[in-house]
Amino acid sequence: MRMKTLLAGLALTTALTVPGLAMARPVTLTTTLKNYGGNGAYLALYVTDASGAYKGTLWVAGPKSKYYSHLSGWDRASRGNVAGINGITGASVGAGRTLKVAVDLADALFDAGYKLHIDVAAEDMRDSPSEVVVPLTAAGAGRPVAGRSYIQTFTYGL
Amino acid sequence: MLRWLHKVLALSVIVPLMALVVSGSVLSVMPALDRAGVVSPPADGISVAELAARTAGALPGVEQIKRLPSGKVVAFHAGTDGPAATVVDPSSGEPVSTYAPSAFERWMTNLHRSFFLGDGGRIAAGAAALALLVLTLSGLQMTARRMGGWARLLDRSRGGVMERLHADLGRLATPGLIVSTLTALFLSLTTFGLIPDGRSPPPASPTFPTMAPGGPALPLAEIDALRGIDLSQLRELTFPNPADPTDLFRLTTADGEGCIDPTSGALLAWQDHTLGRQIHEFIYTMHTGRGLWWVGVLLGLSALGVPALGVSGTVLWWRRRRARAPIAANVPARTADTVILVGSEGGSTWGFARTLHAALTAKGHKVHTVAMGRVASSYPAAQRMFLLTATHGDGRAPASAGAFLERLDGIGAPPPFPFAVLGFGDRQFPQFCRFARDVDAALTRRGWTPLLPLETIDRQSPQEFARWGKSLSAVLGEDLVLAHVPERPRTQALTLVERIDYGTEVQAPTCVLRFALPRSSTLARLAGLGWPLFSAGDLLAVVPPGDTLPRYYSLASSTHDGFVEICVRKHPGGLCSGLLHGLRPGDLIEAFVKPNPSFHPAPGRKPVILIGAGTGIGPLAGFIRANRGRRPLHLYFGGRDPESDFLYRREIQGWLDDRRLTSLSTVFSRVSGGGYVQDRLRADAERLRTLIGAGAQVLVCGGREMAAGVKETLDELLVPAGLTPALLKRDGRYLEDVY
């Protein structure tokens, strides 16, 4: 269990600030992993826009940047921008464990075609880019989604 | 210094090191086990394009194909119940079995590389590998020194069972341990980014175009970029995500990595593996054995030597610690004005050295006492040097002198200070104080200045030692008093259970004495406190009451037999033999075991010729009794009269019947037409030549004259075979136990 609140200065929030809509709300991202029978997993949580273009990173779990290339979707999209994730990284997540991260997201990101992606990778196991892809909508909040290989449930709560 | 480093390092890292090497040994067999279940690819090869097409046909929805180092081809795909991994037959793409990496192996791997402690544990594991490397190299150097130089590193090891076990296992495990630890250090430094692994930073991976051209995908078998690559080159192939029309094939081979456009089949980007990555992969393979299973097995076997080395090393350290109480006020070598070098086999010479050390220290000298084998190349403050040494066997260096004579070469020019050699021995032996004489001669030859002429001490006589002290006082101009009180050796009580008397009628009263085996726990035995394991040929040291000097008798039994047996001839006026001949069942004696590794049959199946006369049959009978493997043993025995002193007559008949003994040849001197054992050998010349020519070993036990006679006879009769006892001796094939 891990809590992290990002209050200000988050690249994503500022990048998408629209005059008059510059309101942000706290969002809790809860990711529970399956017992996939491997060492601790690396995760990247990031957002793309309606056209699939990368917009920003919310969280990276896993301490060693040399393994980030295994988070291949994110690595490709963010072009390995390690400097840009300063302050939003944490430990890897063990099998069966839950990662809980709190972030502030701009209101403008919701119901506007933006998608939240999670890439997962674990040692000696198959990389799983876009393990979860979920549209950011007000209605989708609190509804658990399952991943392809590693993620039991993912929920974002407003 | 080296010994100290070896000891301190070993004792401080022994526990994590055991976890490391045991887990490493377990992991080492995994690559060999992984070979089971590998389906071999078609003999004429198969391209990755074909493999991909067939696998996709057999397993719709395949997302990735990997070729593991073992050669297994694994397909990752959507199963009925979530994602699945399947081992496929590379020829057909058909599923063979479910692929499930072993949780046990993962657990072992995590123990092996990090003790389950994350990065801190990884650092500890790396440090333990470094410690093991230092232990291996320092052990190797100590072994070389003990053997008398690097050129003799592979000679037969010397010393007691534990010492030989430690040295032999160490030499055997060294190559594997050096490979294991060096590669471990490399991998450890890579993990922490101190050595690049050639994978990061990103320029090593191809730059992916953000958009693929789009359009209908080609059939897999027609993708040109995959058609030219054989399965043996494949590492992994990741299929484009069907939900993403812009996605590409991603391919990693033995040579490099790149991405392929699924619509055109063209290679869009390619990057050869860097040299750094190739080096890293090679080292990874050499450490894990993955893809080279036999490397894994060899490294694992070497690693398994470490627990045995740990135990034997600890036992040796503990014994040495017990045996040698530290010398009081021992001054470091570089500041000492007086140096005492000690060559001791059983430890008694150390007692004399201690007395001399204390007497000189009392006179205000700064004294450094050390084993002869550890002589330094210079003593800058020394004004005199004493060499107190015993002799081992027939003139060789005692245990603590090691390769002293060879090490003298490293000292170079004669030092400015004078020396004096004091030899310890027993005048009954013809090579009395031989090693002390050799040392004295070697130093004189090298131009060293004598302080006193060579002196000898017979049978640890405190009077002779005190007399030498007087000569020393005169030379030094100081009033030294050397009052040595010999330490009584540590003994245990043995109870006589049986005796059989022979030879009274022929004026050679001899008895076979059998004592009960004292009970000892393994722990006490390892600590050197209990009755040790022994075998026939070792020596039983009997210490008569009120005496400090042990008398040695060859053991005629082994631990396995469950009793302690010796053969004793009564000597007129002999204190100890008289005492032993007076024993009745139930009586006690005080004794201890002294290993005698130089008189045992060499292991193997080659025949052994045992030659003994009188009580010399004792250890030979012990060898025969222990011959459960029915190795061919041929016994030659000489006595006086078969009716009186045919020792072990009844047992020998039994051993012939159950084939523990192959042949028996006896000869008796006091019967008509009789003779000595040499005569019997001469009569059997042809047979002996054949046996020895076929590699037989010869063991001779008995009195000095008899041994000399046997040697002379064999010298003659081996001429046609181009051999001599001396040549056989050099190869360890002619052993003597003479008294």
CATH code of the domain covering residue B698: 3.40.50.80
pLDDT in tens, B27-69: 999 999 888 878 888 888 899 999 999 999 998 888 899 999 8
Closest C-alpha among B163, B149, B144, B148 to residue B598: B163
Q: What is the pLDDT of residue A1?
A: 38
B314 lies in the same domain as B396: no
> In the A/B pair of chains, how many CB contacts fall below 8 A?
38
User: Could B200 and A66 be called an inter-chain contact, meaning their C-beta atoms sit closer than 8 Å?
Assistant: yes
Q: Which residues of A touch B284 (CB under 8 A)?
A: none
Predicted confidence band at A3 (pLDDT cuts at 50, 70, 90)?
very low
* pLDDT higher than threshold 60 for residue A21: no
Cα separation, B10 vs B310, in Å, equals 8
Q: What is the pLDDT of residue B88?
A: 93
Cα separation, B23 vs A123, in Å, equals 19
CATH code at A11-157? 2.60.40
B329 lies in the same domain as B313: no
B193 lies in the same domain as B211: no
Q: What is the pLDDT of residue A12?
A: 47
B118 lies in the same domain as B210: no
In chain A, where are the structural domains located? 11-157
- HEC profile for B623-652? HHHCCCCCCCEEEEEEECCCCCCCCCHHHH
Which residues are paired to B83 by β-bridges?
Answer: B78
Final residue in a domain of this structure, among B443, B476, B509? B476
* pLDDT higher than threshold 80 for residue B132: yes
* pLDDT higher than threshold 90 for residue B657: yes
B368 lies in which domain range?
Answer: 324-476
Round the average pLDDT of chain A to a whole number and report it: 81
Q: Which residues of A touch B193 (CB under 8 A)?
A: 66
Q: Which residues of B touch A131 (CB under 8 A)?
A: none
For B105, the token pair is: 């192996």
For A135, the token pair is: 């549209």
- Contact status of A37 with chain B (Cβ, < 8 Å): yes
B139 lies in the same domain as B21: yes
* Percentage, residues of chain B above pLDDT 90: 55
Domain presence at residue B90:
no
- Contact status of A148 with chain B (Cβ, < 8 Å): yes
Domain presence at residue B626:
yes
* Percentage, residues of chain B above pLDDT 70: 94
Q: Which residues of B touch A148 (CB under 8 A)?
A: 82-83
Q: Which residues of A touch B27 (CB under 8 A)?
A: none
- Contact status of B68 with chain A (Cβ, < 8 Å): no
Q: What is the pLDDT of residue B514?
A: 96
**Which residues 85-124 in chain A show a CB within 8 A of chain B?**
124
Report the chain A residue with the minimal C-alpha distance to residue B246.
A52
- Contact status of B379 with chain A (Cβ, < 8 Å): no
CATH value at residue B506: 2.40.30.10
The label of the residue with tokens 């640890």 reads: B460
pLDDT in tens, B273-309: 889 889 999 999 999 998 899 999 999 999 999 999 9
Predicted confidence band at B390 (pLDDT cuts at 50, 70, 90)?
very high
Phi, then psi, of A153 in degrees rounded to 5: -145, 145
Q: What one-letter code names the amino acid at A138?
A: A
- Contact status of A83 with chain B (Cβ, < 8 Å): no
Decide: pTM greater than 0.90. no
Cα separation, B405 vs B400, in Å, equals 12
Round the average pLDDT of chain B to a whole number and report it: 88
- Contact status of A35 with chain B (Cβ, < 8 Å): no
Instruction: Give start and end residues of each alpha helix (H) in B363-409.
Output: 404-407
Q: What contacts 24+ positions apart, CB below 8 Å, involve A108-113?
A: A108/A16, A108/A17, A108/A18, A108/A21, A109/A12, A109/A16, A109/A47, A109/A136, A110/A136, A110/A137, A110/A138, A111/A136, A111/A137, A111/A138, A112/A50, A112/A136, A113/A49, A113/A50
Q: Which residue among B110, B200, B241 places its CB closest to the CB of A39?
A: B110
- Please, what is the angle between helix B462-476 and helix B348-362, to 10°? 30
B560 lies in the same domain as B686: no
* pLDDT higher than threshold 80 for residue B541: yes
Q: Which residue among B101, B199, B202 places its CB closest to the CB of A80?
A: B202
Domain presence at residue B176:
yes
Q: Which residue has the higher pLDDT, B511 or B163?
A: B511
Predicted confidence band at B353 (pLDDT cuts at 50, 70, 90)?
very high
User: Could B103 and A37 be called an inter-chain contact, meaning their C-beta atoms sit closer than 8 Å?
Assistant: yes
B121 lies in the same domain as B231: no
Q: What is the pLDDT of residue B484?
A: 86
Final residue in a domain of this structure, among B594, B626, B643? B594
- Contact status of B118 with chain A (Cβ, < 8 Å): no
Domain presence at residue B44:
no
**B170-193 average pLDDT score:** 94
B468 lies in the same domain as B534: no
B521 lies in the same domain as B497: yes
CATH value at residue B429: 3.40.50.360
B312 lies in the same domain as B186: yes
Domain presence at residue B328:
yes
* pLDDT higher than threshold 60 for residue A8: no
Report the chain B residue with the minimal C-alpha distance to residue A37.
B103
**B413-432 average pLDDT score:** 87
Q: In chain B, how many domains are there?
A: 5
- Nearest chain B Cα distance for residue A105, angstroms: 26
**Which residues 229-248 in chain B show a CB within 8 A of chain A?**
238, 241, 246
Which residues are paired to B386 by β-bridges?
Answer: B340, B420
B216 lies in the same domain as B237: yes
B447 lies in the same domain as B462: yes
- Residue A140: CB atoms within 10 A of its CB come to 16
Q: Which residues of B touch A72 (CB under 8 A)?
A: 250
- Nearest chain A Cα distance for residue B131, angstroms: 27
Q: Please report, to the nearest 10 degrees, the dihedral formed by the alpha carbons of residues A31, A37, A42, A46 taken in order.
A: -40
Report the chain B residue with the minimal C-alpha distance to residue A146.
B82
pLDDT in tens, B598-651: 789 988 899 999 999 999 999 999 999 999 999 999 999 999 999 999 999 999
- Contact status of A135 with chain B (Cβ, < 8 Å): no
Cα separation, B539 vs B534, in Å, equals 9
Closest C-alpha among B306, B669, B672 to residue B503: B669
Cβ–Cβ < 8 Å for B359, B468: no
**Complex ipTM > 0.90:** no
User: Could A69 and B110 be called an inter-chain contact, meaning their C-beta atoms sit closer than 8 Å?
Assistant: no
* pLDDT higher than threshold 70 for residue B324: no
pLDDT in tens, B190-238: 988 888 877 644 333 344 444 445 567 788 888 988 998 999 999 999 8
- Contact status of B82 with chain A (Cβ, < 8 Å): yes
- Contact status of A62 with chain B (Cβ, < 8 Å): no
pLDDT in tens, B358-374: 999 999 999 999 999 88
Q: What is the pLDDT of residue A52?
A: 82
